[in-house]
Amino acid sequence: MASTFVLLILSSPSGAGKTTLTRKLQSRFPELFFSVSHTTRAPRNGEQDGRDYHFVDRARFEELIAEEAFIEWAEVHGNLYGTSMAEIERAKGTPGCGGMIFDIDYQGARQIRAKVPDVVGVFVLPPSMPELERRLRGRASETEEVVQRRFAVAKREIEHYALFDYVIVNDELPTAFSELEGVVLAERSRRARRAHVAERLLRSGRI
């Protein structure tokens, strides 16, 4: 595993823009793998099994829970979501992989933090609640019932922002992405991730 291997959690209320930010981050850092979660919800237009999610029915998901296959799982908006241990092992075993991005809610973030202390958490906020509602309504795939339910849950999700290391307000996408890019670069330069370089130089006698 690379010394600068970073496990990065991105979380937000639905509609705050974390999916767009995640895709831009993967474009900027292709060595960061995306953790493909399991879910019991139906695919949205354009989503592909194995790329966006592993789509399974509730019975299969519950079998995986019983098998302790998940590092985290939770029920969100009536659907089950979970991250399998196999996803992390896939990243660790791939040459050149620089880390993994988890697109999960605060429940999953808390569970992963309990098991992986050095994971980095980023919470994405909308600029305002009216703007969040407008973005939710702009999703052609969402019914009015779903919009109302997601908006009602948003405040409870925002209440958990303190679980995360960084908070980004997604008002203007370029600015929000610049901040997220800065988080990745800063985390790669942490002393703990680069200490081996300094120690190698000391042992070589070149400084």
* DSSP-derived secondary structure for 177-202: HHHHHHHHHHHHT-HHHHHHHHHHHH
Q: Does domain 6-204 have CATH number 3.90.870.40?
A: no
Q: What is the CA radius of gyration of the chain?
A: 18
pLDDT (average), residues 89-93: 85
Q: What is the pTM of this model?
A: 0.83
Strand runs labelled E in 60-177? 70-76, 79-84, 99-103, 120-125, 166-169
Query: What pLDDT is attached to residue 140?
Result: 63
pLDDT in tens, 111-136: 999 988 889 999 999 999 988 888 88
With beta carbons less than 8 A apart as the criterion, state whether 43 and 49 touch: yes
**Assigned token pair, 28:** 């900027």
pLDDT in the model for residue 141: 64
Domain residue ranges of the chain, discontinuous segments joined by +? 6-204
